[in-house]
């Protein structure tokens, strides 16, 4: 039940959450932009990345709502075996189809590339599940913002709003010299932004259908993990230490096109109103009041 201790937070919970997530992440991570690469800046970056989780918990508590009810979503694993297959399988399927299309059009792929070590795949997945998109982000974006916006907009619109907020939240990483985002080419940057928007819709579909933050964390982590399974040909992407923009653009556009097809299929089948079958999570799902 919401209280009147903080009326602005009570009446504008999503705005309060966004401000809190941005403030925590940007303030904690910002010093890394002025440091040389090392343990300290990376620790600041990853601590800062917990902004969405910290802000969601704080706003929930400040509103007087049940933090336990909100946090319980992180451990909701009984969602049906089909959703576990989807969480692990959809990202891999996107990469597989992307690979096939690139082969057909003569893109920069090489099937003779050695398959990634299962140990490396597991490490990347666990890293993504905990500190690179999963636990640090999803309890906020999907576990908090999505239910509130579901009560106000159709699910597709809600996921698009979150996608834009989510993308802009990453802004500091583009100014930290050793962060991967800072090395993006223009094509990478545009493609990354569009990809975040599309991924937001896919994650909203999983969350609205299950009410589980855990399944969304797994799906998010698998998206990050699946990227290392794409058998790219390094000698076609970089020639004489220079990035081949056309090759990068070919991979980026192809993967975006495949992802877009998945999104279109989801919206066409489940509908933009809910992106799911049946009732979807709203504020009541978090133990709060609908406003």
pLDDT of residue 274: 96
- Give the E-state strand segments of 173-279 in sequence order: 238-239, 242-243
Q: For 70-82, what is the mean pLDDT?
A: 95
Yes or no: say if 252 and 187 are a contact pair by the CB < 8 Å rule: yes
All residues at 6 or more sequence positions from 219 whose CB lies less than 8 Å from its CB, including other chains? 86, 87, 90, 91, 202, 203, 206
Q: For 163-178, what is the mean pLDDT?
A: 94
pLDDT of residue 169: 97
| Residue 288: band (very low, low, confident or very high) from pLDDT cuts 50, 70, 90 | low
| Residue 4: band (very low, low, confident or very high) from pLDDT cuts 50, 70, 90 | low
Q: For 239-257, what is the mean pLDDT?
A: 90
Which of 145, 252, 127 lies closest to 189 in space, CA to CA? 252
pLDDT of residue 142: 97
Averaged pLDDT of the chain: 93
| Residue 150: band (very low, low, confident or very high) from pLDDT cuts 50, 70, 90 | very high
pLDDT of residue 221: 97
As a whole number of angstroms, the distance between CA 259 and CA 261 comes to 5
All residues at 6 or more sequence positions from 171 whose CB lies less than 8 Å from its CB, including other chains? 26
As a whole number of angstroms, the distance between CA 141 and CA 224 comes to 17
% of the chain with per-residue pLDDT over 90:
80
Q: Is the pLDDT of residue 1 over 60?
A: no
Please state the pTM of the whole predicted model: 0.94
Query: Between the ranges 83-97, 175-189, 239-253, where is the mean pLDDT highest?
Result: 83-97
What are the CA-CA distances from residue 255 to residues 9, 101, 105 (Å)? 39, 9, 13
pLDDT of residue 6: 77
Q: Is the pLDDT of residue 290 over 50?
A: no
| Residue 291: band (very low, low, confident or very high) from pLDDT cuts 50, 70, 90 | very low
Comparing 61-65, 74-78, 127-131, 193-197, the range with the smallest average pLDDT is 61-65
DSSP code for 238: E
Q: For 26-35, what is the mean pLDDT?
A: 94
Secondary structure (DSSP) of 101-169: HHHHHT-SB-TTSPPPPHHHHHHHHHHHHHTSSTTTTHHHIIIIIHHHHHTTS-HHHHHHHHHHHHHHH
Q: For 19-34, what is the mean pLDDT?
A: 96
């Amino acid at each position: 039940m919401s209280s009147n201790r903080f009326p602005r937070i009570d009446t504008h919970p999503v705005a309060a959450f966004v401000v809190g997530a941005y403030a925590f992440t940007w303030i904690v991570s910002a010093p890394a932009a002025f440091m040389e690469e090392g343990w300290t800046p990376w620790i600041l970056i990853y601590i800062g990345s917990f902004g969405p989780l910290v802000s969601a918990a704080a706003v929930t508590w400040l509103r007087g709502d049940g933090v336990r009810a909100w946090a319980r979503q992180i451990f909701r694993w009984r969602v049906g075996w089909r959703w576990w297959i989807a969480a692990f399988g959809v990202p891999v399927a996107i990469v597989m189809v992307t690979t096939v299309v690139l082969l057909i059009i003569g893109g920069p792929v090489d099937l003779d590339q050695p398959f990634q070590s299962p140990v490396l795949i597991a490490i990347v997945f666990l890293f993504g599940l905990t500190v690179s998109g999963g636990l640090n982000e999803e309890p906020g974006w999907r576990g908090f913002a999505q239910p509130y916006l579901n009560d106000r907009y159709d699910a597709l619109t809600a996921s698009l709003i979150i996608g834009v907020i989510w993308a802009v939240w990453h802004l500091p990483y583009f100014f930290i010299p050793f962060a991967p985002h800072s090395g993006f080419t223009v094509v990478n940057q545009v493609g990354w932004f569009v990809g975040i928007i599309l991924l937001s819709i896919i994650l909203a579909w999983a969350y609205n259908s299950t009410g589980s933050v855990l399944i969304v964390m797994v799906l998010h982590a698998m998206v990050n993990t699946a990227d290392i399974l794409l058998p790219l040909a390094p000698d076609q992407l970089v020639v004489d230490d220079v990035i081949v923009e056309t090759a990068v653009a070919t991979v980026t556009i192809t993967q975006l096109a495949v992802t877009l097809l998945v999104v279109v299929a989801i919206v066409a089948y489940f509908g933009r109103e809910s992106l799911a079958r049946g009732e979807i999570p709203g504020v009541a799902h978090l133990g709060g009041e609908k406003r």
